[in-house]
Structure 1
Amino acid sequence: MVDVASRSRTSSRRSARPVGRVLTAAGLLAVLTALLVGVVVGSHVDDWDSAVYRWAPAVHWPELGGVLQWWVMLGQRAICLAIAAAWLGLRAWRERDLRPLGVLLVATLLTNIGVGAMKTLVGRLGPLQLGADAGLPGAADVFAPGGTIFPSGHTANAVVTWGVLVLVARGHRRVGAVLAAVVAVTVGLTTVYLGTHWISDVVAGWCAGGLVLLALPAVVPRVERAAARTWAEVAGRRARRYQGRTARARLTAVGSR
């Protein structure tokens, strides 16, 4: 009876996970859409951005500037990707398993495509690009070709890269999840402190990164199956070419006798 009850609880938890992911994804998508519309059309989101910028966190805590200049690099794509790839590469070499690296690759592609496309389409300018005009009324509502500030790429990268390491971890996932969340949250807030992003850019980056992580359980198996089919086709072609060359070599050898 105990075993049956335990199995029932395990089955219930497993069936609840997809529902929880869908509901969480729906919530994140709703927030991201609301921010996107609010930024593009013009709304109280702009007032919120301007108010946070004028509050000037760097003025309140100037002693953090030196540390945060380095800390924000944990969301810089090349750096955090290099760290994660090195860690998973070492694991792949030890365990002879490339799947964790594949998850990182898929997550990175989804982030670059999704966030990159949104940045280009929105074309928003950030405080750093606006310079002294960033504190003026309506500054958060300025768009121009080359504007790539919404959503925050550093924030999305931090969510996705460190989140992937937690997803593929063998153990200590709860501790890892807490650490990854701390990094993602603080990297996003650091971009506001440094004046490179509006606060809405950061919230949008959190949402976009979260959506990528939630999509991975559905996307990665499909990519793995497609890769397996492609590899099987390539291996089959190579085998057929090898067999053809071997047969021709035998015929040549027979004819020369």
Structure 2
Amino acid sequence: MDAPPAPADVRDDTDRTLRQTCLSQCAAASAAFLLLLGLVAAHWGPLLAADRGIAVELHSVAVRHPGWTRLNRVLTDWVWDPVTMRLVLLAAVVWLVVRRENRQALWLVLAGAVGWVLQAAAKVLVGRQRPRWPDPVDSASLPAFPSGHATTAALVCGALLWLLLLRRPARSLWCVAACAVAFVSVAGVGFTRVYLGVHWPSDVVGGWLLAAAVLAATAALCEPWRTGAAEPDRPSS
């Protein structure tokens, strides 16, 4: 009869399973992102028509409701903007370094850096024009695809939520509240970008997919679920 695996073996199996799961998720998100990027770059008619239809409808609402539009501008420019999100990420990195949880701090730094580089490179590669309106309610520069706001918000909220779930039970009040905040933030910033007429819907979806791919890939590399080195086995008395 085989002996039960030692704790180190169990830990290695868990690490291997989590790493494989991350790589699978990265592959799926990357494939979806590259497919969407290809459709955008090829100016695929059905996608452009869907983008246009949603953007036109939301822009007409934005023009008719200036008060609601001002609120969306505050949210997208000050609450969910990339600068605010990166400052939140930086604060989390500092907190982790102070606690000497360097593996998780490294993961946040790597995910943030890779996400920023890839979304900037994709913008240059695709060079998609932003929506243009005779009566704009907001403005933005740089190419449209993928949305930097959507990428950054999804990446930061996803990473911080993951770290919280490593520390708290999934059904705890803290995790439930954090999940709600993360969902509202990621979905909310995506809505504001299209509502204010500075992005097409597929720009936002592309940002979300890119963030998911980056989070999964960097997690497979850094293994943030590992909080430290394994303790040596103690000799039996």
TM range (shorter): 0.7 to 0.9
Specify the alignment match of 1:35 in structure 2. Answer: 36
Q: Which residue identity is paired with 1:205?
A: G
- Change beyond 3 A, Cα 1:96–1:21: closer
- 2:96 paired with 1:101: no
- In terms of mean alpha carbon deviation, does 74-83 or 170-179 score higher? 170-179
Specify the alignment match of 1:119 in structure 2. Answer: 123
Deviation at 1:193, TM superposition (A): 0.9
Q: Secondary structure at the match of 1:70?
A: helix
Q: Which residue identity is paired with 1:125?
A: Q
- 2:132 paired with 1:153: no
Q: TM-score, normalised by structure 1?
A: 0.67
User: Please, which of 161, 165, 171 is the counterpart of residue 167 of structure 2?
Assistant: 171
- In terms of mean alpha carbon deviation, does 171-180 or 154-163 score higher? 171-180
User: Please, which of 54, 58, 61 is the counterpart of residue 59 of structure 1?
Assistant: 61
Q: Secondary structure at the match of 1:132?
A: coil
Specify the alignment match of 2:229 in structure 1. Answer: none
- The unaligned stretches of length 5 or more in structure 1 are 135-145, 222-257
- Change beyond 3 A, Cα 1:74–1:99: farther
Deviation at 1:183, TM superposition (A): 1.4
Q: TM-score, normalised by structure 2?
A: 0.72
Deviations 1:155-204 (A, max 9, x none): 00001112221233352374234532331122112111111100000000
What aligned pairs does 1:1-257 form with structure 2 within 5 A after superposition?
A: 16-43=17-44, 44-56=46-58, 59=61, 62=65, 63-72=67-76, 73-93=78-98, 95-127=99-131, 130-132=132-134, 147-169=142-164, 171-172=167-168, 174=170, 175=175, 176-220=178-222
Partners of 2:148 and 2:198 lie apart in 1 by 11
Q: CA-atom RMSD, angstroms?
A: 3.2
Deviations 1:81-109 (A, max 9, x none): 1123124423433x244443322211111
Larger Rg: 1
Partners of 1:162 and 1:99 lie apart in 2 by 18
- Kindly indicate which of the two structures has a greater share of residues assigned to helix: 1
Q: Which residue identity is paired with 2:143?
A: T
- The unaligned stretches of length 5 or more in structure 2 are 224-237
Mapped contact 1:124–1:150 kept (Cα < 8 A): yes
Q: Which residue identity is paired with 1:84?
A: L
How many residue pairs align between the two structures? Answer: 204
Partners of 2:79 and 2:121 lie apart in 1 by 22
Partners of 1:27 and 1:97 lie apart in 2 by 29
Partners of 2:125 and 2:202 lie apart in 1 by 16
Deviation at 1:52, TM superposition (A): 0.6
